[in-house]
Amino acid sequence: MSTSHHAGRALIVSITDHTLHGEDDGGAGALVTELLQEAGFVVDGSVTVPSDEVAIRTALNTAVIGGVDLVVTVGGTGVSPRDVTPDVTGEVIDRELLGVAQALRWSGMAAGVTDAVISRGLVGVSGSTLVANIAGSRAAIRDGMATLTPLAVHVIEQLSDPEV
């Protein structure tokens, strides 16, 4: 593994109402961790929080303050009143990357992933951290990460190089 390229440090935040009932995120954090590690990221951890604005904001701010290069949120991007992840993300990021969020939706649409198509997920930069919202289904995670990972590596390189 020592010969692999280190793409950056990442943290996963899984948003689920299931935590209210003492359940985990259904393996979403583990799946995103695996896909990020395959892409060369060092995953600092995966946290699961309820679909609650304060809990999500705290998790995102903690990750940004902690200096990770990439935060991937999983879940809470749909159209129900409990889906507040994009709303909180919009408050945390400094600059939105509309093209990356659109790429996630378009690749999902092309793959037939309904969750990705109706996702209100945002992608943006907070300080020097890239924050990306991914829909919560396994299909949306697999497709979304395949699209996001190379774009994230490119954005992180730009953020870390003051000459760019």
What does the pLDDT look like over 97-112, one tens digit per residue? 999 999 999 999 999 9
* Residue whose structure tokens are 């009932």: 21
Higher per-residue confidence, 55 vs 2:
55
Cα 113 to Cα 142: distance, rounded to the nearest angstrom: 10
The pLDDT of residue 25 is 72
The C-alpha atoms of residue 10 and residue 22 are separated, in whole angstroms, by 25
Query: Are 37 and 119 contacting, i.e. CB atoms less than 8 angstroms apart?
Result: no
Q: Is 63 exposed, middle or buried (0-12, 13-18, 19+ CB in 10 A)?
A: buried
Rounded distance between C-alpha atoms, residue 77 and residue 126, angstroms: 19
Q: pLDDT higher for 34 or 6?
A: 34
Distance between first and last Cα of the chain: 29
Is residue 110 within 8 Å of 82, Cβ to Cβ? Answer: no
> What's the pTM value of the predicted model, to 2 decimals?
0.92
Residue ranges and CATH numbers for the domains of the chain are 8-160 (3.40.980.10)
- Looking up tokens 């919202």, which residue turns up? 133
